[in-house]
Amino acid sequence: NIVNNYSEAEIKVREATSNDPWGPSSSLMTEIADLTYNVVAFSEIMSMIWKRLNDHGKNWRHVYKALTLLDYLIKTGSERVAQQCKENIFAIQTLKDFQYIDRDGKDQGINVREKSKQLVSLLKDDERLKTERAQALKTKERMAQVATGVGSNQITFGRGSS
């Protein structure tokens, strides 16, 4: 990644949308979501996501994970993410026809097709989008409180009773 002169934001997106058989970690997606509030990073993040969405064939995981990341960013990142996705909704809509059958004859394209349908549905429903963003914010605030121990003096890690 350093060799190709990728920025920190681009490296994180590439890691989150890799061909590894596991999904992006929530901590990595949270870092990326936070970076969407930075104008320069936002542009780098979205550019890399659109590149990943244009992959095909054996790189179906790039596409699927880019949709997964977009779903997360739409709900928890800058509102500009959802705005840009709405402006480019056709790019997400075309993925409802994504095809890829792996060596074992398994239809891996179905994951991409389903995820793109879900995202398009969310992007077209402003009320639902507003609700999902509000819920995500509440969850984020709750997690921050738990992490800092705010509002609770009952936290007892590793103290077993004898």
CATH number for position 88: 1.25.40.90
Please, what are the averages of pLDDT over each run of 10 residues along the chain (162 residues)? 80 97 94 97 98 94 97 97 98 96 94 97 98 92 76 48 45
Name the domain count of the chain. 1
Is 73 domain-assigned?
yes
Residue-level pLDDT at 134: 95
Residue-level pLDDT at 160: 47
Is 154 domain-assigned?
no
Residue-level pLDDT at 3: 58
pTM of the predicted protein model: 0.86
Is 44 domain-assigned?
yes
Is 40 domain-assigned?
yes
Show Cβ contacts of residue 8 under 8 Å, excluding neighbours closer than 6 positions. 35, 41
Is 156 domain-assigned?
no
Instruction: Give the Å distances, CA to CA, from 138 to 71, 134, 142, 145.
Output: 17, 6, 6, 11
Residue-level pLDDT at 151: 52
> Which domain covers residue 134, as residue numbers?
8-148
Is 31 domain-assigned?
yes
Residue 107: strand, helix, or coil: strand
Could you list the beta-strand ranges (E) of 98-154.
Answer: none
Residue-level pLDDT at 150: 54
What is the distance between the alpha carbons of residues 70 and 119, in angstroms, rounded to a whole number?
Answer: 8
Residue-level pLDDT at 162: 44
Is 2 domain-assigned?
no
Is 157 domain-assigned?
no
Give strand pairing partners of 81: none
Residue-level pLDDT at 146: 81
